[in-house]
């Protein structure tokens, strides 16, 4: 209900207004809010009965003030209204997860005008210390009933599920069934990431361009196919493997070792019980994100990740060592092609298969060198990490209202606002990552690093407090040093200035994030 509606009500007989207020609580989200409003309303009537006028000298807790207050708590349109005469609801948001992606989501949600408060389960030390959210470390995010109970107790109006594992486990299914708006796909729709074989079959059925492939459970058959195709070739574990289940084999020996690792040794557990052997695509990788409401999709800004652990894209694959946005490789023309040939057919295909997708579709793309056209490498069913970090610092729209619109199936016609310029994130990881690494190493000087230049924000992925309240590393990828700039070069320089300020002998970073788009600069190596 708009303020204009309340102003009309103000001109009516006061007793009629009272009757209307008591019988119709103006769309208040909380009964206590309505009772508070009623008390103020009756107080106003008492002022009237003692001879106070509704003119310029009316007391501050007046009839008009009460209605203005009420308008602020009334229901709003799905995308929010930002005019003088309209007020939008505020929502308590629960973010599920505790990594760098979730820290970035908390940061963006907290900045949303329609966000009342952000909770994060389990969260991490950096999220807590930054006050971007209140961390709920003891909530079991794999216990649907516990999450539902918590949401009801705290009046949560939106749940945003960050990691893939609870999505694949069906957390969204349980929350939606309980009537709690949840941004994230169902377990069935999460198969787009949970099973590469499922994704490939969908591509076949709905003519979505992707690399040629075959699926195997028998190591001998897989090796015979590899021998026929030759190297380089790509070996993928079918299931979730924390971003490490892909081997880009440059030799036949590497390919055979990858097959043995998955199908014989069982290094990836059940995720590696089936493998996809895929043709090697030569070109430039890019990340494309779209918000989806089950039938409609809207694109986010482009970003480019750096998967390999070493400078110059060398060494084993990781979860991602850095990213920047926008990605020059994804021109407006290419983005349109991606939407028309990959994203929309996927959304329509999932709907036709009876598994409507609601959430963010993260398409890992290869822009082929020989054709200049995009092919789908893989889907993730959540915001990428570290791409989420650069997207969230650039987003200017009210993220809460946009995600609620997705949950309601109302994305059609919505567009997003982004800050001009560029953003870059440089990941600092524990020495030894993506292999074994030491935990508990001390990290210092983070506050100074964040102040080294304008537009710097440090997102925590794997940190905790030691007994003295100091930050220590607890994961492989630990920090996302993120910076905005007027252009990519300025964003890069600011990010690396902040990296240089961090005092962490147990960590390392790539020195060439953005190398495809910028002239190379050399930065000192930590540790």
Q: Report the distance separating Cα 513 and Cα 523, nearest Å.
A: 11
**Is 60 a domain residue?**
no
CATH code for position 269? 3.30.1490.20
The Cα 423–Cα 409 span in angstroms is 30
- Count other Cβ atoms within 10 Å, centred on residue 494: 22
**Quick one: 180 and 264 in the same domain?**
no
Whether 144 and 100 share a structural domain: yes
**Which pLDDT belongs to residue 426?**
98
Residue finishing a domain among 228, 261, 280: 280
Same domain, 182 and 221: no
For residues 247 and 169, membership in a common domain is answered with: no
CB-based contacts of 342, cutoff 8 Å, min separation 6:
208, 209, 288, 363, 365, 374, 376
Cα(163)–Cα(313) distance, integer angstroms? 25
pLDDT tens per residue across span 215-263: 999 999 999 999 999 999 999 999 988 767 899 999 999 999 999 999 9
pLDDT score recorded for residue 516: 87
Same-domain check for residues 98 and 160 = yes
Q: What tens-digit pLDDT sequence spans the chain (527 residues)?
A: 434 333 333 333 333 333 333 333 333 334 444 444 344 444 443 434 333 433 333 333 333 333 333 333 333 333 433 323 344 679 999 999 999 999 999 999 999 999 999 999 999 999 999 999 999 999 999 999 999 999 999 999 999 999 988 998 999 999 999 999 999 999 999 999 989 999 999 999 999 999 999 999 999 999 999 999 999 999 999 998 876 789 999 999 999 999 999 999 999 998 999 999 999 999 988 889 999 999 999 999 999 999 999 999 999 889 899 999 999 989 999 999 999 999 999 999 999 999 999 999 999 999 999 899 999 999 999 999 999 999 999 999 999 999 999 999 999 999 999 999 999 999 999 999 999 999 999 999 999 999 999 999 999 999 999 999 999 999 999 999 999 999 999 999 999 999 999 999 999 999 999 998 987 665 555 54
3-state secondary structure at position 88: coil
Pairing of strands 156-161, 182-183: parallel
**79 assigned to some structural domain:** no
Residue 352 placed within a domain: no
Could you give the CA distance from residue 395 to residue 393 in angstroms, rounded to a whole number?
6
Quick check: is 325 in a domain? no
Which CATH number characterizes residue 104's domain?
3.40.50.20
Q: Same domain, yes or no, for 218 and 168?
A: no
Cα-flanking dihedrals φ and ψ of residue 313, to 5°? 55, 55
Q: How many domains does the chain have?
A: 2
User: How does pLDDT run across 461-483, given as a tens digit for each residue?
Assistant: 999 999 999 999 999 999 999 99
The reply to whether 221 and 178 lie within a common domain is: no
Is 177 within a domain?
yes
Same domain for 160 and 112:
yes
Same domain, 174 and 223: no
Strands 314-317 and 322-325: unpaired
Is 236 part of a structural domain of the chain?
Answer: yes
Q: How many Cα atoms occupy the beta-carbon half-sphere of 298 within 13 Å?
A: 14
Say if residue 171 is in the same domain as residue 122. Answer: yes
Q: What domain range includes position 100?
A: 92-186
Distance CA 136, CA 319 (A): 25
Are 182 and 218 in a shared domain? no
Domain-embedded: residue 154? yes
The last residue of a domain, from among 229, 246, 280: 280
* Domain edge (last residue) among 228, 260, 280: 280
Distance CA 36, CA 66 (A): 10
219 and 255 share one domain: yes
- Tell whether 276 is covered by a domain: yes
């Amino acid at each position: 209900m708009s303020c204009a509606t309340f102003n009309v009500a103000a001109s009516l007989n006061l007793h009629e207004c009272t009757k209307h207020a008591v019988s119709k609580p103006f769309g208040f989200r909380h009964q206590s809010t309505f009772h508070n409003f009623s008390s103020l309303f009756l107080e106003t009537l008492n002022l009237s009965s003692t001879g106070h006028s509704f003119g310029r000298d009316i007391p501050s807790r007046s009839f008009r003030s009460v209605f203005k207050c009420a308008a602020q708590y009334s229901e709003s349109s799905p995308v929010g209204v930002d005019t003088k005469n309209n007020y939008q609801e505020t929502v308590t948001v629960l973010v599920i997860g505790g990594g760098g992606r979730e820290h970035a989501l908390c940061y963006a949600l907290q900045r949303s005008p329609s966000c009342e408060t952000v909770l994060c389960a389990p969260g991490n030390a950096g999220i807590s210390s930054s006050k971007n959210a209140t961390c709920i470390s003891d909530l079991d995010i794999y216990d649907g009933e516990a999450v539902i109970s918590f949401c009801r107790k705290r009046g949560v109006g939106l749940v945003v599920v960050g990691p893939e594992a609870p999505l694949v486990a069906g957390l969204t299914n349980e929350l939606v069934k309980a009537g709690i708006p949840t941004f994230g796909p169902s377990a069935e729709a999460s198969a787009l990431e949970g099973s590469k074989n499922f994704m490939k079959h969908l591509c076949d059925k709905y003519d979505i361009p992707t690399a040629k492939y075959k699926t195997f459970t028998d190591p001998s058959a897989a090796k015979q196919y590899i021998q026929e195709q030759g190297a380089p070739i790509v070996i993928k574990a079918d299931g979730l493997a924390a971003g490490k289940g892909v081997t880009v084999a440059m030799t036949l020996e590497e390919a055979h070792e990858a097959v043995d690792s998955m199908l014989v040794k069982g290094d990836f557990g059940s995720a590696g019980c089936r493998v996809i052997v895929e043709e090697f695509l030569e070109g430039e990788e890019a990340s494309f994100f779209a918000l989806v409401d089950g039938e409609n999709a809207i694109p986010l800004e482009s970003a480019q990740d750096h998967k390999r652990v070493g400078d110059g894209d060398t060494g084993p694959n990781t979860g991602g060592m850095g990213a920047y946005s926008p990605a020059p490789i994804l021109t407006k023309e290419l983005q349109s092609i991606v939407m028309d040939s990959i994203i929309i057919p996927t959304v329509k295909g999932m709907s036709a298969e009876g598994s409507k997708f609601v959430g963010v579709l993260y398409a890992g793309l290869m822009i082929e060198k020989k054709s200049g056209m995009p092919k789908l490498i893989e889907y993730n069913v959540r915001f990428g990490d570290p791409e989420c970090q650069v997207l969230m610092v650039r987003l200017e729209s009210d993220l809460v209202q946009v995600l609620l619109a997705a949950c309601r199936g109302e994305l059609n016609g919505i567009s997003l606002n982004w800050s001009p310029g560029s953003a870059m994130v440089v990941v600092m990881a524990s020495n030894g990552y993506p292999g074994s690494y030491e935990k508990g190493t001390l990290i210092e000087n983070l506050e100074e690093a964040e102040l080294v230049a304008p537009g710097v924000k440090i997102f925590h992925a794997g940190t905790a407090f030691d007994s003295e309240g100091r930050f220590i590393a607890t994961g492989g990828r630990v920090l996302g040093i993120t910076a905005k700039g007027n252009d990519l070069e300025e964003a890069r320089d600011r990010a690396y200035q902040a990296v240089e300020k961090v005092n962490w002998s147990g960590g390392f970073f790539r020195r060439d994030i953005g190398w495809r788009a910028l002239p190379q600069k050399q930065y000192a190596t930590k540790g």
